[in-house]
Amino acid sequence: MPAGDKLRVAIIGCGGIGMKRARTMSGCQLVACADLVNERAVALARTVPGVDPLPDWESVLARRDVDIVVVCSTHNALAEITGAAVAAGKHVLVEKPAARRSAELDDVTRSAEKSGCLVRVGFNHRYHPALLKARQLVDQGALGELMYVRGRYGHGGRVGYEKEWRAQPALSGGGELIDQGIHLIDLARWFLGDFPHVQGFSTTYYWDMPTEDNGFMLLRTQNDRVAFLHASCTEWKNMFSFEVYGRIGKLDIQGLGGSYGTERIAYYRMLPEMGPPETTIWEYPMGDNSWEVEFREFLDDIRIGREPAASLSDAKAALQVVERIYEASGR
């Protein structure tokens, strides 16, 4: 542990997400980074004084002055790098989905258990303020017994989207379902629990690529609570919508900031006489701070030796849902 308990961090994968992570590490010292494209590592290193751009991820893990590794690679390398990092004695924050398939996480889990190092999976949407507020209201019993959730998440892609790495199954493991859809699955599990009953369909309607551009899900818990979810990259206006229904109220979360619109949550409380509900609305017009809130919680996990709330088991469960839908869709 470095002097003053200031943990030292390295980032592997220096694209857009790696850059975002580099800006949200208050309380830590970023000391190294690496990327398959060296120019990206050099560019990230220039944004933070004292960061060494290294030629490959193996060089990062060989550094004795690295306590935490943040893995922001393409999906095909997430599990391999995470497993090697915990075996080298590093705590890890690995971006979702943490792997292309759930079986890739088995060795990672064993390595983490053997080393005692913690692994947090980057399901940062749990840390958006509207979703944190939703979780608080549900935990306080404001909705009563939960019945079902309904979620939609999508973007419209961009010119050349079908040529990017997410359109290559060997690198991504799949398309929109494993990209944005896995956030919806994680949020649905966060509120309702596990889904032993999975129905769904994934297909490609618009983009000329072998991965899907739309995923439709109907998930059901053991006690018949349901999640109806849709992830799409033919959503021509970026959108995020997540609704939670209980016996005595409803939560309606819209937007994530930026191009997804102002983040807000509406709480509709059913009255004894029914009719129009009592309505309370919170809005969060500030920038997205979910990445920083998530990382601060990971630092607390490390400090007190607590299993991260978004864990490898959560990633494995979400990926198993994705796999069942891919299998049902002939993918």
For residue range 10-38, list pLDDT tens digits in order. 999 999 999 999 999 888 999 999 999 99
pLDDT(1) > 80: no
The CA distance from 13 to 37, in Å, is 9
Helix (H) / strand (E) containing 237 = none
Asked if the model's pLDDT at residue 5 lies above 90, the reply is no
DSSP string over 141-171: TTT-SEEEEEEEEE----TTGGGSGGG-HHH
Residue 306 has pLDDT above 60, yes or no: yes
Per-residue pLDDT band at 243 (split at 50, 70, 90): very high
- What is the distance of C-alpha 171 from the center of its chain? 18
Averaged pLDDT, 167-172: 97
Q: How confident is the model at residue 4 (pLDDT cuts 50, 70, 90)?
A: low
What pLDDT, on a 0 to 100 scale, did the predictor assign at position 27?
Answer: 86
For residues 307-317, average pLDDT: 98
* Residue 207 identity: W
Using the predicted structure, report yes or no on whether residue 331 has a pLDDT greater than 90: no
Average pLDDT over residues 283-297: 95
What average pLDDT does range 149-158 have in this prediction? 96
Average pLDDT over residues 125-142: 98
What are the tens digits of pLDDT across the range 198-226?
Answer: 999 999 999 999 999 999 999 999 999 99
pLDDT of residue 267: 98
Judge whether residue 3 has pLDDT over 50: no
To 10 degrees, the CA torsion angle through 166, 170, 171, 175? 30
* Nearest alpha carbon to residue 157 among 176, 170, 173: 176
Average pLDDT over residues 310-323: 98
Mean pLDDT to the nearest integer, 128-152: 98
Mean pLDDT (the chain) is: 96
- Segment 73-86 mean pLDDT: 98
34-60 pLDDT, tens digit each: 999 999 999 999 999 999 999 999 999
Q: Indicate the pLDDT class of residue 323, thresholds 50, 70 and 90.
A: very high
pLDDT at 61: 98
* Residue 118 near residue 82, CB atoms below 8 Å: no
Percentage above 90 pLDDT, the chain = 97
Angle 312-328/181-192 helices, nearest 10 degrees? 120
Cβ-contact 199, 217 below 8 angstroms: yes
Instruction: Output the pLDDT for position 2.
Output: 43
| Euclidean distance between CA atoms 293 and 122, whole angstroms | 11
Query: Is the link from the previous residue into 97 a cis peptide, with omega within 30 of 0?
Result: yes
pLDDT at residue number 26: 81
Q: Note the pLDDT of residue 144.
A: 98
